[in-house]
Amino acid sequence: MAEALDPVFQIQRVYLKEASLEQPNSPAILLEQAQPTVDIQLGVEAAPVAEGVFEVCVSATVTTKIGDKTVFLVECKQAGIFEIRNLPDEQMGPVLGIACPQIVYPYLRGNVADVVTRGGFPPVHLAEINFQSMYEQQQSAGNSPTQ
């Protein structure tokens, strides 16, 4: 009986949920010599999918522009399915907002670099992220990654 109450944390699957690349001003923009600006936005979402099973998604949007013209726009969403059972409620938020994104994020980084490279550009390497700091900022702003 005690075994039924032991905490459970298992990765069921990690997968690329969504990926897109847009080059709306190609080919003309590719002839520009100016240095592009790069804007990177990251997000974390978590949602229950069954009893004790959660999907955690980490998304990245990379927008590269020269002036006001987009060179390319990449959107990727990497997801993981996690079995999480018998944890105290106060630990669920940090597990879904910190531990799970840390597992999924390296896959997202690789996929973003791959999509950008396949689009004919030098790879964009996303920086390492401190998900604990990101989670704490969301909590202090009243936002939770769980939706």
Q: Which domain holds residue 91?
A: 2-136
Q: Is residue 141 part of a domain?
A: no
Query: What's the total number of domains in the chain?
Result: 1
Q: Is residue 146 part of a domain?
A: no
Q: Is residue 18 part of a domain?
A: yes
Average pLDDT over residues 92-119: 96
The CATH number given to whatever domain includes residue 94 is: 3.10.420.10
pLDDT higher than 80, residue 12: yes
Q: Is residue 145 part of a domain?
A: no
Burial class (CB in 10 A: 0-12, 13-18, 19+), 137: exposed
Q: Is residue 37 part of a domain?
A: yes
Q: Identify the pLDDT of residue 8.
A: 93
Q: Is residue 64 part of a domain?
A: yes
pTM tops 0.85, yes or no: yes
Distance CA 47, CA 28 (A): 42
Average pLDDT over residues 106-110: 97
